[in-house]
Every structure is written in C-alpha cells, then in structure tokens.
C-alpha cells in the first residue's frame, strides 16, 4: 500500500512539474511570436522635431541641419538663399533605447544637449501593443551677445529647457502618426508679460510613397505663446529620401530655428503668407560597436 501511495504521489508531482514547464514553454512561444514594429519613422527627426526613433546601441549619428532665409524676401536676397543658419549635432546610442547628444547652432549661437529614452515599443502578434513612446528632454544655452554690456545675463539666465513625450503609431507600412505633448521653460523671457512656462501640442506624420521616398508634415500648436514677439505656430512640410547610410530631408517651414525652444516658441513667420524657409537635414550613421552577429565571429 505504501508503495502504491508513493507511486501516485510521484506521478502527481511529475505531472504538475511537467505542466508548469509546458506552461513556461508556451508562454515563451507566445512572447516570441510577438514582433516589435520597426521603422515608424526612418530617422530620428520628423522634420524640425524629434521622432520616437532611437538608433541601435553603439551608433554615432552625425546630423547637419540647414535653414535658409524666407523665400518671399525677393531676388535681392536670392529668395532667402543668401541668408542661412546651420546646426551640427552628434547623437550617440548608449543602448538601443537611450541616446545622448550635443549640438551647436549658428542661430543665436546656441549650444544644446539632450537625452532621449524609448520606454515603449509598438508590437504585433499575440502580445501586441498599439503605440511606441519615447521621452525627450533638452537644455539650450544662447550665447549671442545681443545685450547691453552693462546688463550681461548670467549662465542660468541664458538657459531654456524642453521636455516632450513622443507617442507614435505605425498604422500601416505606408502611414505613421505621432503626437508630441511639450513643455518649455524659459529662465528668462523677452517681456514680463510673457510666460516662463509654455505648453504646446505637436502632431507629425509620415506617408511612404516608395521604398526610399516619403512625405512628412509637422505642426505645433502653442496654448500660451510669447506675446511680445508676436509668435506663430510652427508648420513644416517636406520630403525624406533614404540613400544607404544617409537620410536626406528637404524641408519647407515657417520656422528659422532648428531647436525646440526656437521653432515651437519663437517662430514669427506666417507659412501661408510666404514666410517659408527652405532647408534640409542630413544624417550619417557610424557603427562604433560591433553588432550581435559580428560579435559571434570573434
């Protein structure tokens, strides 16, 4: 009788352990059957602003952004091409989801630094998830000497901070949409009537028209704009072209600045009145760390 009882207990225990192992295996298969949605946007920028995308670990992205003067400035200014602003930037992917970056703009001689961290990935399959989400925060320092020498601003006075939540969904292989709740804090504003804290909402989209060409648009609405400079909402339309390791974007926008605090808060041109700045973004990726497949060879 004791042997029979022991055999029954052994079979029951083994069955329970096997069922737990099988459940773990099935759960693993379900997780493996879910895939991350890639290429919501082909680059780290939509037009002026950031997309949810981050590069793979170990990638250094070199970015050049250029904005010319207003097209409606006439032939004397060669329709804006005589006037230009440029920004150079470096973005490094510490991990697949974490990016740190620095940059320098000729507009207002501004230095900037920022961090992007991707916290959610859109997924398809059994364990699907509908959106991607990335957090963005930056700081800028304006060094242009446009002040009275006797009233020189301190380092803190020259700083501005921006924080964004980038939320995107790739609805199909040809269409992606992103919204960008935005908060900007100015340590110093042009007038006491202007808010130090600004809130805005952005929306951006990408429409794929071929394997290497896409159309993009971007718009930011300010809820409490700067009144002293008669600021307007930023609008940008353009074309993206993929050429191997390069991403080339042709842009038409009413914003002169290429930094968040500039194009979101300090745009003054009216797009549909011809206050349009032609420009472009170019990015080139350099792989400084071997990918997983290459590491297996060593």
The span from the CA of 126 to the CA of 130, in Å, is: 12
3-state secondary structure of 252: strand
- Among residues 110, 68, 69, 70, the alpha carbon closest in space to that of 88 is found at 110
Q: What is the pTM of this model?
A: 0.83
CATH topology of domain 39-295: Porin (2.40.160)
Residue-range domain boundaries for the chain = 1-32, 39-295
For residue 156, the model assigns a pLDDT of 93
**Cα distance between residue 104 and residue 108, in whole Å:** 10
Angle at the Cα of 252 from the Cα atoms of 249 and 254, rounded to 5 degrees: 135
Residues 6+ apart with CB under 8 A from 218: 46, 47, 48, 49, 202, 203, 204, 205, 234, 235, 236, 237
DSSP lists the bridge partners of residue 16 as none
The pLDDT confidence band at residue 46, using thresholds 50, 70 and 90, is very high
Q: Residue 268's CB: how many other CB atoms inside 10 A? A: 13
pLDDT digits (tens, 9 = 90+) for 49-78: 999 999 999 999 999 999 999 999 888 888
In the predicted model, is pLDDT for residue 249 greater than 90?
yes
Flag whether pLDDT at 26 surpasses 70.
no
How many percent of the chain have pLDDT more than 70?
A: 85
Burial-class residue 40 by CB neighbours within 10 Å (0-12, 13-18, 19+). buried
pLDDT digits (tens, 9 = 90+) for 250-271: 999 999 999 999 999 999 999 9
Phi, psi (degrees; rounded to nearest 5) at 35: -120, 140
């Amino acid at each position: 009788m004791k042997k029979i009882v022991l055999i029954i207990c052994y079979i029951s225990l083994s069955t329970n352990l096997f069922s737990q192992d099988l459940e773990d295996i099935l759960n693993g298969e379900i997780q493996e059957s879910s895939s991350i949605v890639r290429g919501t946007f082909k680059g780290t920028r939509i037009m002026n602003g950031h997309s949810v995308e981050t590069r793979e670990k170990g990638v250094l992205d070199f970015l050049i952004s250029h904005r010319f003067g207003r097209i409606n400035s006439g032939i004397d200014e060669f329709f804006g091409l005589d006037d230009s602003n440029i920004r150079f930037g470096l973005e490094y992917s510490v991990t697949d989801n974490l990016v740190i970056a620095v940059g320098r703009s000729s507009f207002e001689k501004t230095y900037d630094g920022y961090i992007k961290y991707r916290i959610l990935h859109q997924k398809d399959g059994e364990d699907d998830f509908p959106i991607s989400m990335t957090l963005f925060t930056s700081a800028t320092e304006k060094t242009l000497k446009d002040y009275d020498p006797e009233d020189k601003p301190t380092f803190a006075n020259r700083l501005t901070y921006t924080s964004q939540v980038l939320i995107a969904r790739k609805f199909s292989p040809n269409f992606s949409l992103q919204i960008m709740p935005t908060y900007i804090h100015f340590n110093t504003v042009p007038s006491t009537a202007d808010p130090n804290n600004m809130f805005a909402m952005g929306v951006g989209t990408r429409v794929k028209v071929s394997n290497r060409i896409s159309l993009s648009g971007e718009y930011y609405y300010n809820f409490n704009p700067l009144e002293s400079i008669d600021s307007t909402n930023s609008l940008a339309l353009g074309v993206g072209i993929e050429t191997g390791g390069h991403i080339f974007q042709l842009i038409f926008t009413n914003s002169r600045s290429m930094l968040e605090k500039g194009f979101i808060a300090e745009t003054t041109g009216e797009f549909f009145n011809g206050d349009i700045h032609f420009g472009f973004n170019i990015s080139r990726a350099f792989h400084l760390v071997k990918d997983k497949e290459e590491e297996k060879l060593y």
